[in-house]
Amino acid sequence: SSGNMSTTSQKHRDFVGEPMGDKAVTALSGIGETLGKKLATDGFDKAYVVLGQFLLLRKDTEMFTEWLKDTTGANSRQAVSCAQCLKEWCDAFL
């Protein structure tokens, strides 16, 4: 988590600061409108569904990053940002 401090956005801090509840998938850092739509089409319309995938991949950020890039066409920066966001959320709330 330390290496990413400089790149964490306000969106990241907002997400990892509280339970995700019913938040939309676009609340995840790295996930904008385009990627959000793509994810929703694949059934990942809520942040918690994406969390489910992250958990299926054993919270392995590398695996998750690769999955997100493969399924949504996200670039590395976006995918890493989203993985980091979920990782930190898990560290805080699981």
Partner 1 sequence: MALHEKSVEEIAELLDEYGIKHGPIVDSTRSLYEKKLERAMEDAPVKASSDKTYYREEEEEITYITYHSPVKRDGYTDALKRRGNAKVDESDESDQETESLIHVTKRTANHSPIQSKDQIRKSGGGMWLLLLLLSVLAAVGYYIYCRVTSNEENTFGIQ
Q: Is 58 in the site for partner 1 (CB under 8 A)?
A: yes
Query: Quick one: 16 or 50, whose CB is closer to partner 1?
Result: 50
CA distances from 6 to 2, 14, 26, 46, 78 (A): 9, 15, 21, 27, 15
Q: Is 40 in the site for partner 1 (CB under 8 A)?
A: no
Closest Cα partner for 69 from 56, 81, 58, 86?
81
Q: Is 15 in the site for partner 1 (CB under 8 A)?
A: no
Q: Which of 56, 75, 77, 93 binds partner 1 (CB under 8 A)?
A: 56
Query: Quick one: 8 or 60, whose CB is closer to partner 1?
Result: 60
Q: Determine the Cα angle at 56 with ends 51 and 60, to 5°.
A: 85
Q: Supply the minimum distance, in Å, between the C-beta of residue 94 and partner 1.
A: 15
Query: What is the residue type of 14?
Result: D
